[in-house]
Structure 1
Amino acid sequence: MDFSFRRRPLGTLYLKYTLMFGLIALAMFGGYVVTGHTLIWNTDALNQHLPLMAKYREIVLNWLHHPFSSHQAWSWQMGIGTDTFQVYSYYTIGDVFAYLALLFPAAKITLAYQVIIVLRMYCVGLAFIYFAQHFDFSDRVILAGTAVYMVNSYLLYVAVAQPMFTTTFMLFPLLVIQVERVLKGGSAWPLTGAFLWMLVANYYLAFVVGVGTIIYLVLRVATHYRRALNYGKTLLKLVFATVTSILLAAVLLVPELLAVQNSTRAGAEFANGLKTYPLYYYLFLPKQLINGGDTTFMFWSALGLAAIVFLAIVYVYTRPRQYPLLAISLALSLVMLLIPACGAFFNGMMSASNRWTLLIYLPLAMTVCVLLQNVPTLDQRTLRIMILATGGYLLVLLATYFFQNDDDLFVPVIFLLVSLMIISRAIGHPGPGSERWLLGVILANVCFNALYAALPYNGGFANDMLTRGQYQAITSQRYGGLNQGLAQKSFYRVNTISNNDIINSLKMYNDLTSGLNAVKSYYSLQNKYVGAFSRSLGNVQYQSNIPLNQLDDRTVLNNFLGVKYLFVQSNGDNATKIPAGYTLDKTTTPIINYDQGQPSNAKTAADLTTIQTSRYTTKNAFPLLYWQDTAISQATYRKLSATQKERALASGVVVAGNQVVIKGLKKANLAGEVKKLTATLISNRLTPVKASQLVQTDPDETYRLTFPDLTKKAVAKATKGSELHVDVSSIKFTPFSMKEELAYEAAHDQYMLTNPGSTYNAKFARYQNWRKLVLKGAPDKSFTITLTSSKGEETITQPKQSILSFFKLVTDGSLNLGYFGGQLPQSVGVTFSKLGTYRLKYTVEAEKLGKQYDQQVKTIQSHALKDLTFKTNQVSGTITTNRTGILTSSIPYSSGWTATVNGKAVKLLRTNQAFVGLRLPAGHHRVVLRYHVPGLTLGAKVSLVGLGWTLMAALATLVFKRRRAK
């Protein structure tokens, strides 16, 4: 089996493919249409892909109309502010398909988004056909391989959830073809073009596909070209293609790499700390091969191909010497699937995400082509091996079925057996008949898989798609319509309450449609300083992709970030957990649900509970930029608890780096702002518990955290009007071994038998508990600690290692139990989610928010930068000070910011850990902050050099070809 660059007529083949794609597309996308769904996923597509495409379309059109005007490099509406190039370069700029949105009017952007999804999939098939036609395969064989390549669990998911990943299925075949061209002595220019597309599409995907291409190159040379290759000339061509494409792509790569280095993703734990995968992963990995409708991936190990792929793999391994590249690559892939470190390596040295499996669908589809081409020539020995291997595989599937009743495998197994039957009948009967039958079976198999994934009746992925018109409804009712009429006369931000869903059952992270400046944001690259700020204040809602979230409903943190309005849904979680100083401003028309949530003793309509969205407002929001003359040294700041650090935001400013800049400033007075309370943890068994050595052996055991100090009138009075925080400075959790946990579960089951005559089936219960623990991945380090007060509940959670991108090591955190205008509660409820040993160190603190705080806020507001003016990538204003101080802000710090005071450049400071600031002497000042994309100028210069180099190389190539032709 060898590549051939001999031309062959392809028009008929592409026509056949187009007809076949129509059938596959009907199965893949038709289910969504029939059931009233769209191709818009309710998570990343809703929050990122679709609104970013719409925004980027506006930017491109504006650039086309005004090519010489400055364009927005900084956005105030992406969270608390971020570099737009950083966001768009990851998702949109290098995506060639995104530019097709320019062909649609703005009102049809949702249609454009969905049409582009379908077009991407069409191009995936085209890429495989272009690849496979370089081999001596018949049209039917190529079409069968194309169907297998296009329809798999990975693509069924990413086509609508992560559309940019679809591009890799086009790129990898093209890269392999162009590498082959170079290995055969051909031109390096096509490879240069493929590399360039790979690099500009997305740097993360470029890494995955680039490494895959290198692996292919090494294996191909080792198995085929080892003795025949002109190594020097070939290496020169490969270096030329690599260097040229990197130079040309530098304008995107340099800023992107700088953004990664300064993002919250930097320093993530390798492989989430996993040395091996949980037991269930190894148990269920075999069934993933043909479980085509499954989109619930284990560590992104998707697979899910047409069932015939199993027989094709067996066939290849009956002839490993004939197909060494396929045999080695598939064996290597299997080994890599078993080791978390491999997934972490391909995932940028972070979580053990096996997204790299996008590389193995090409060899898997090729095994099917090889099998179909050779079915008539199979011998009885090979057939016997296939039958025995199928029998063994079915036994494995049967075992996993009894362990986890997965009916999804029923139809794939039928297709596997039907394929084996057709192959057995075709042996010794040359001709196109077997190809036709097998192509038909493959098409039926992939169409079933696609349709099964697209129908919502099995409770699967289709239920996560938005329904028709829902995106438009969300954009207009994101805040229940209460955002309408809010004037942005002065700068402010908005927020919602923790876990309080205004739009029910949707993950609402970003707000790119209301025109308001929302605090919450969800992007792959987030400012590392903002992340560090959030973590140092103990924000338990912190995620690397969502560093601030809803600020845990903290009063000072909301005020500091300029949150003027809060939106709350009355029937959502934590609806009464309103920060201090926020008063009801407006509500929607009340709705009464007579069938749910009503008191049983209601007599009149006034007794019924209504449902409505409310808007709260405050007069305590900090200005965007303000002057402070009180400072906190870094030595003092480091000694503060998380709550004290938050409260200190109103008392003074902390400046990173050389402490000379705060010389001459007054020392901030932090006394009396936070009061520590004694606390006692008591089990529902009515016994005190040591938090430093809490052993949870009963899954139903609960606790109360009591505050004896609050029984004293003086303390209760002094802490009135406070926010109650539980600052956990250290958490260590050690799960029980499987054996220990089973014993404790059994003891609990027996303890619950309180009625006379009750018996306990220990053997069956042990199996049930063991099975439950295995399916959960136990023993693992995840846990959740929940504290409940009258205002709502708050949790601190250690995610499972299988959470991948949202995994974080949780060692501390501060839980805000709410603001209490009156007396603080004398106790709160505590529950632990997992059996094991907890070692906790914590303090309970009352954050006083009274007259002292109000006066500090008024002082800050009086020191605001006046005449605040916003221009593209610029904010400016004036201020008059009577002494030296620090102008600080809630603008996220970045090396892209520069500052001038009265026209002279000044050094930028990082204040309060994460925000832009500068030192100001006494006097009247005009301050101007300007933003430029870090690394963009350098990247553009490198790309210009690359462009010059490319033109010279192209000219030299042209001259050389003409001389050679003579």
Structure 2
Amino acid sequence: MNQPQIAKKTFGYYSVIFIMVCCAIYISYFLAGGSFIWKVDGFTQHFLVFNEYMTLLQDVIRGKGFAQWDWSIGAGADTIISYGYYIIGDPFVYLGVLFPESMREFSFHFLIFVRVWFVGASYLFFARKFNVSHRAGLMGALMYGFSFFAIYNMTRHPFFILPMIWYPLLCLGVEKILRKESGVLFSMMVAISAIANFYFFYKLTILTFIYGVVRYILLYGIKPIKQAVLTLSRCVLYYAIGLLMSAILFLPMVDGFLHASRSTGRSPMSLFYYPLAYYEGLIYHLFTPGVYFWMVGGFSIFTIFTFVFLLKNKRNVAGVMLLILGIFTLFPLFASFMNGMSGPYNRFSFAIPLFLALASSQFLDKRQELQLKHFTYMFYLLVLFTLLYAKVALLEEKYSYYLLPIALGWLMWGILLYECKKQVTKKYVPLLLTVLVVLNMATNTRAFYYDYGRNMISSTVELHTAIEQYENVLGGMEKLLPTDERYRLGVTSRDNQVRNQFIYHDLKGLNTYLSLTNGYVADFAEELEIGTYQIIQPLRSGMDDRRMLNHLLNVEYIITNEKNKRYLPRGYEVIDQPTIIKAKRQQKANVEREPLGVDFTELYLKRYHALKQPQYDPNYVIAKTASSFPLAYVEDNMMLRQDFAKLNPVEKEVFLTKGVVVEDALGRTTMKDDDFTVKGLRELDYNITYPYERVQPLSKTVFTVRPGGGEMHITLPNANALKRSELYVRLEGLRYKNAEESTKYDVRFKYEGRTKTLRQSDEHAFSSYFKRDNMFVNLGYTKEGKNEITIQFPDAGRYYMDNIVIYALPARNKTDEKLAAHKQAHALTITNFENERIEGTINNEKEGVLVTSIPYAKGWQVTVNGEKRDTIQANIGFIGIPLEKGKAHIVFTYQNPYLLKGSIVSIVGVLLLIIVGRIARKKRQ
């Protein structure tokens, strides 16, 4: 208690050391071209969303407003729901508006460092409540701030760092309530953490509750019950007030989550045990950077001594919490519970470094309590880990990675033992140990980034290139497109690199890759068995190049690399580039001839952008079709969804071009599934052969594939039935087994120079896993009718299929164009098209349903001739409006249904906090 406590100087020392360590770690990293933009989610989600949101905020500052609906997010999506999961509630991100657009990538990296600094700072506030000394607090802050969970997510998911900031402050808020102090901090932190990210807020709520129960019992015991009830009531009251304060964003986000396509079903794996490799990883990743099922290790080797200290001090809140969290990491059931009863990911492991840091700080302050026998325990633990890590270092040939932490551990042990034997507390010991801990954390961090360790640098986008890659994703060809945005732009199944980049270019596409994606649109994609479908990417990669689906969803243009031309759907013809450029020049000339208006600045900018000479990649092409459907048209041929579900995928696709699927009959006559036939559709006979010995057939649809992969050849005897048709293959009733009990496998289809691969995700890939009972693939249009299909199975194992069905459907451009012309004749004439408002007129010859390709969402309100109308689900995932015969003026408007309600609730929450806070202050006085 005589040692100086955590004070302002502690934060100052922490800041200086933080900057020095960051320079030592990251200067060479950035000079080598590394960045914090991971090539997967970092590039396609985190930085892209950050860049777009900064642009939106700066536009708001300029007075342009904030659109709650954005047509460039997939088929169109709620802006708040789409971005709220990542960025809207992150208070640090708003510092980004202070940087110009030219420094966007710099600001992204700078704000990551700011978040990590706050991780350690929040620890200092928390530890100060436990009377931790200045030196011990400094070591704990650095141990927590540079813990591997924070370092890992600097490059992986930057917003995952936020709960490491909120949790110590939530625990501090609970601590203040338990000590009969103010509960305002607790309410504020509940509100901030709920706004920042509802997904982690769920985990934080459970972890904070556990901390509160443990801490209360350690402070007061179980009795008296009355005091326990009163304390719990105070906590619940302040928690509820915080939740009310967060409603402005929390309510829209929860609604978005409940209607999202992300799977929240029960984990397909056992909830009682993990694979054996996981438990091995727990040991080997304890003191070296590593992640398995999101159990993030890489703790300081100093914690070996902390464990011995905790054995001596059993009534320590950090020790009890570590014991509980340690048990949680052993069984998938707890991880699944902490993850909303979905995949057993240990993303709650961000809490473990907090209590390790607190216990380590307390140990450093009370190290004189240890006896020589405790150092014997430490010795045996060090020997055990030395042997284990030496073994794996030899096997993996990563000596620095595994052995350097052990060497530092022996050095720490020697310093502590020397001090113990001298029986004098040395003032320089905390400094030496802090230096070694910092060195330990820094070397672990470098081991994560560089090639002698995990080599994360190779998985990141090269520094200062992300914006350029967004800019060039379509080869610059998007600049040649018409400025009328009432059409959609598509890609082919080979353009998997195009995910969220339509957002950057502000183009109406279909591709999206975000954690919260419209669940109704996902249901549509699943019902149609679109081969490229993934849970959070429902309409990705050209919808398997299925021409009728592209027509249905208003895709008029497709941009792709020239080498992918053979994947273009039938009827999409490449436009000659000189013709496009000539038309574009004429458009520029028209801009030049515009009369001068009042706003000279706007006119100047308009001319400047029009006259810029864009760069085009000659390897890219634009294809156009005359058969795309309008955004909204009237259809009077209806089928109930339950009848629609009985059709095969080809019949479903054809019906959607001739009618509309509804959830309810609306009091009208609907078509039955057995009344609907597709003219010219054929199921083809075939023969199967296995040309290589690596495939051992057991029956027609059961076979074993040996290591190295194998393939089957399907021969179609009647090749004439294929001519001028689209060919589809459906593998029905799929099941797969292998020696490793993995569910992951690929099936590759080859036909006429086109290759398509469909994947069954591994059951441990919880963000993307769903069980494919069938695989349905479009092999494209064939003019001559080649009679052989190759299906490859790269993964060894036994495959089971109930049946293989092959469909051939005639495809004629004139037929498609005639059908599209019919839709255009019954289309809504759009007079105004904006993000949040669509306005148009229609003269309906008879009653029907206005079918749109606007994704179904609660926030869309519709008026017909000034009268409010309810929307219905049309074609499963989109908006429909029942219409009567006659003329109609129709207006669509969008507003998030919970934003206004949430704002009112938040104001109520703030007022309650003020009232309750004043009452509590008077009682304390």
Check if 1:811 corresponds to 2:814: no
C-alpha distance in 1 between matches for 2:775 and 2:625: 27
Contact 2:494/2:567 (<8 A) preserved = no
Question: Which of 277, 282, 286 is the aligned partner of 1:280?
Answer: 277
What aligned pairs does 1:598-637 form with structure 2 within 5 A after superposition?
Answer: 612-637=619-644
Contact 1:520/1:546 (<8 A) preserved = yes
* Deviation at residue 730 of structure 1 after TM alignment: 1.7
Partner amino acid, structure 1, of 2:737 = T
CA 1:62–1:483 in structure 2 vs 1: closer, same or farther (change >3 Å)?
Answer: closer
C-alpha distance in 2 between matches for 1:52 and 1:259: 17
Q: Please give the secondary structure, in 2, of the residue aligned with 1:887.
A: strand
Question: Which of 622, 638, 641 is the aligned partner of 2:645?
Answer: 638
Partner amino acid, structure 1, of 2:430 = E
Contact 1:208/1:346 (<8 A) preserved = yes
Residue matched to 1:761: none
C-alpha distance in 2 between matches for 1:709 and 1:84: 52
Q: Pairwise CA RMSD of aligned residues? A: 2.9
Residue matched to 1:305: 299
Question: Which of 514, 518, 541 is the aligned partner of 1:523?
Answer: 514
Residue matched to 1:543: 534
Contact 2:696/2:705 (<8 A) preserved = no
Residue matched to 1:584: 574
Contact 1:283/1:400 (<8 A) preserved = no
C-alpha distance in 1 between matches for 2:677 and 2:7: 77
Check if 1:913 corresponds to 2:876: yes
Partner amino acid, structure 2, of 1:120 = R
* Deviation at residue 522 of structure 1 after TM alignment: 1.0
What's the CA shift string for 1:714-760, capped at 9, x where partnerless? x2xxx322222112332122334xxxxxxxxxxxxxxxxxxxxxxxx
CA 1:694–1:700 in structure 2 vs 1: closer, same or farther (change >3 Å)?
Answer: farther
Residue matched to 2:487: 492
Q: Please give the secondary structure, in 1, of the residue aligned with 2:804.
A: strand
What's the CA shift string for 1:819-843, capped at 9, x where partnerless? 2233244332332513124234331
Residue matched to 2:790: 828
Contact 1:585/1:617 (<8 A) preserved = yes
C-alpha distance in 1 between matches for 2:300 and 2:843: 72
The runs of 5 or more residues in structure 1 that have no matched partner are 589-609, 737-777
Question: Which of 230, 237, 240 is the aligned partner of 2:237?
Answer: 240
C-alpha distance in 2 between matches for 1:928 and 1:661: 25
Check if 1:138 corresponds to 2:138: no
Check if 1:326 corresponds to 2:318: yes
Q: Please give the secondary structure, in 2, of the residue aligned with 1:352.
A: coil
Check if 1:861 corresponds to 2:869: no
* Deviation at residue 51 of structure 1 after TM alignment: 3.1
Contact 1:153/1:303 (<8 A) preserved = yes
What's the CA shift string for 1:838-874, capped at 9, x where partnerless? 2343311123221433422232233221134213411
CA 1:818–1:376 in structure 2 vs 1: closer, same or farther (change >3 Å)?
Answer: same
What aligned pairs does 1:554-703 form with structure 2 within 5 A after superposition?
Answer: 554-570=546-562, 576-585=566-575, 612-658=619-665, 660-662=667-669, 670-672=677-679, 674-685=681-692, 689=697, 693-700=701-708, 702-703=710-711
C-alpha distance in 1 between matches for 2:195 and 2:119: 18
Partner amino acid, structure 2, of 1:542 = Y
What's the CA shift string for 1:749-788, capped at 9, x where partnerless? xxxxxxxxxxxxxxxxxxxxxxxxxxxxx22222222222
CA 1:891–1:174 in structure 2 vs 1: closer, same or farther (change >3 Å)?
Answer: same
Residue matched to 2:358: 366
CA 1:451–1:701 in structure 2 vs 1: closer, same or farther (change >3 Å)?
Answer: closer
Residue matched to 2:214: 219
Check if 1:202 corresponds to 2:197: yes
Residue matched to 2:590: none
Check if 1:316 corresponds to 2:329: no
CA 1:886–1:476 in structure 2 vs 1: closer, same or farther (change >3 Å)?
Answer: same
What's the CA shift string for 1:139-177, capped at 9, x where partnerless? 222222122111232211212321212111111111111
Question: Which of 18, 22, 25 is the aligned partner of 1:21?
Answer: 18
TM-score (norm 1): 0.86
C-alpha distance in 1 between matches for 2:244 and 2:44: 33
Check if 1:792 corresponds to 2:754: yes
Residue matched to 2:736: 733
C-alpha distance in 2 between matches for 1:381 and 1:507: 62
TM-score (norm 2): 0.89
C-alpha distance in 1 between matches for 2:699 and 2:346: 38
C-alpha distance in 2 between matches for 1:635 and 1:212: 44
Q: How many residues are aligned here?
A: 880
CA 1:956–1:325 in structure 2 vs 1: closer, same or farther (change >3 Å)?
Answer: closer
Contact 1:727/1:813 (<8 A) preserved = yes
What aligned pairs does 1:936-947 form with structure 2 within 5 A after superposition?
Answer: 936-947=899-910
The runs of 5 or more residues in structure 2 that have no matched partner are 579-616
C-alpha distance in 2 between matches for 1:665 and 1:642: 16
What's the CA shift string for 1:468-507, capped at 9, x where partnerless? 3312211321211111132231412222222436xxxx67
C-alpha distance in 2 between matches for 1:575 and 1:308: 59
C-alpha distance in 1 between matches for 2:652 and 2:483: 30
Contact 1:679/1:707 (<8 A) preserved = yes
Check if 1:708 corresponds to 2:716: yes
* Deviation at residue 643 of structure 1 after TM alignment: 2.3
CA 1:826–1:695 in structure 2 vs 1: closer, same or farther (change >3 Å)?
Answer: closer
Check if 1:883 corresponds to 2:846: yes
C-alpha distance in 1 between matches for 2:892 and 2:327: 53
Q: Please give the secondary structure, in 2, of the residue aligned with 1:581.
A: coil
Contact 2:701/2:802 (<8 A) preserved = yes
CA 1:857–1:62 in structure 2 vs 1: closer, same or farther (change >3 Å)?
Answer: same
Residue matched to 2:599: none
Contact 1:643/1:814 (<8 A) preserved = no
Contact 2:733/2:773 (<8 A) preserved = yes
The more displaced of 57-66 and 217-226 is 57-66
Contact 1:675/1:848 (<8 A) preserved = no
Residue matched to 1:591: none
Partner amino acid, structure 1, of 2:93 = A
Contact 2:706/2:796 (<8 A) preserved = no
* Deviation at residue 542 of structure 1 after TM alignment: 1.8
CA 1:484–1:327 in structure 2 vs 1: closer, same or farther (change >3 Å)?
Answer: same
Q: Please give the secondary structure, in 1, of the residue aligned with 2:474.
A: coil
The more displaced of 928-937 and 198-207 is 928-937
* Deviation at residue 640 of structure 1 after TM alignment: 0.9
What aligned pairs does 1:450-469 form with structure 2 within 5 A after superposition?
Answer: 450-455=445-450, 460-469=455-464
